[in-house]
Amino acid sequence: MSQAEPAAIEAEGLTKIYGSGNTEVVAMKNASMRVARGEVVALLGPSGSGKSTFLTAVGLINTPTSGRITIGGKLVQDGDAAYTNLRSFRRKHLGFIFQKSNLIPFLSAIENVQIAMQLSGESARASRHRAMELLDYLGVADRAGNFPSMLSGGQQQRVAVARALANRPSVILADEPTAALDGQRGRQVMELFAKVAHEQGAGVIVVTHDHRALDVFDTIYEMEDGLMTRSTSSASVHANQPITPLD
């Protein structure tokens, strides 16, 4: 990927401060990240380090106190100023996967995938076809008609992954997506992210504690106490080994 080409997502100097005065808490300080199209990025760090704050900020859910977010070359957020309809932008360009499967309980597995496409204007028939393809790809096609309560944690997570991929987003944001999966399934999901990133040119940011699949990632970032640091590539981090904070 050429540096001249617009990044899938670029965050510059993101800071998030909760409260003020004596109750002020700096959750994230001057965090920057550039994810090229087709690049898969891991974000590591201990609990409370600011990973989720960063992820929700670049996911246009949580407004940063300051900093800029550019997606696909378009400046969408500068501090608390939004330059587009964030909800509509999220629907079209971002895919989310979270630690908990976050499926809508009153929709079946296939409807949970379809809803994302139908909100973007896809027809019922086309969305059903693609949803079935995605469920099949993720190995849960046989549970398409089941409600989330009838699925195991791993099956629910795979349906959530299918939903995140449904609209062919330019950026996929995943927060501990493999927490509910066994090692093999977890690795398959990570490899799936890499495949989607490479085939569709999407940028992928994965917050994870799962060190067994770190070799899948192109770049690794770490956060601690709200500060973000970058490793040049995954080669510098050994799989199955604890990550040591970088300078």
Partner 1 sequence: MNLATKDIRHNFGRFALTAVGIGMLLMVVMGMGGIYRGVVEDATLLIERVDADLWIVQRNTRGPFAELSRVSSNLVYRAAAVPGVSQAREFVYHTIQRQRDGKPLRIAVLGLSWPTDKGEWLPLSAGRTLGQVHFEMIADKQLGLALGERIKLGKETYTVVGLTENMISASGDGLAFFSVSDALAIQFDTPGEATRLERAARRSRGEQFELAIQQPSVLENAMRPASELPAVAEPQISAVMLTLSPGADPERVADVISGWGDVSVYTADGQRELLLKGSVERVRRQIGLFRVLLTVIAAIIMALILYTLTLDKIHSIALLKLIGAPNTVVLGMIMQQALILGFVGFGIAYLIGQQLFPLFPRRVILANADLLQLAGIVLAISVLSSLLGIWKAMKISPNEALA
Q: Which residues lie near partner 1 (CB under 8 A)?
A: 52, 56, 61-62, 87-92, 94, 96, 98, 102-107, 111, 114-116, 118-120, 124, 147, 163, 175
The least CB distance from residue 61 to partner 1, in Å, is: 5
Cβ nearer to partner 1, comparing 103 with 138? 103
The least CB distance from residue 126 to partner 1, in Å, is: 13
Cβ nearer to partner 1, comparing 54 with 89? 89
Cβ nearer to partner 1, comparing 89 with 231? 89
Phi, psi values for residue 86, rounded to 5°: -65, -40
Residue closest to 121 by CA, chosen among 100, 92, 101: 92
Match 């600011």 to its residue by tokens. Answer: 50
| DSSP letter for each residue of 18-83 | ES-GGG-EEEEEEEEEEE-TT-EEEEE--TTSSHHHHHHHHTTSS--SEEEEEETTEEEEETTEES
The least CB distance from residue 3 to partner 1, in Å, is: 30
Strands 66-71 and 227-231: unpaired
The least CB distance from residue 7 to partner 1, in Å, is: 21
The least CB distance from residue 226 to partner 1, in Å, is: 18
Cβ nearer to partner 1, comparing 92 with 230? 92
Cβ nearer to partner 1, comparing 52 with 70? 52
Measure the CA angle with vertex 32, ends 213 and 41; round to 5°: 15
Calculate the dihedral angle through the C-alpha atoms of 68, 73, 74, 80, rounding to the nearest 10 degrees.
Answer: -10
Cβ nearer to partner 1, comparing 1 with 86? 86
Contacts of 226 (CB under 8 A, 6+ apart): 16, 26, 27, 28, 29, 31, 49, 50, 53
The least CB distance from residue 91 to partner 1, in Å, is: 2
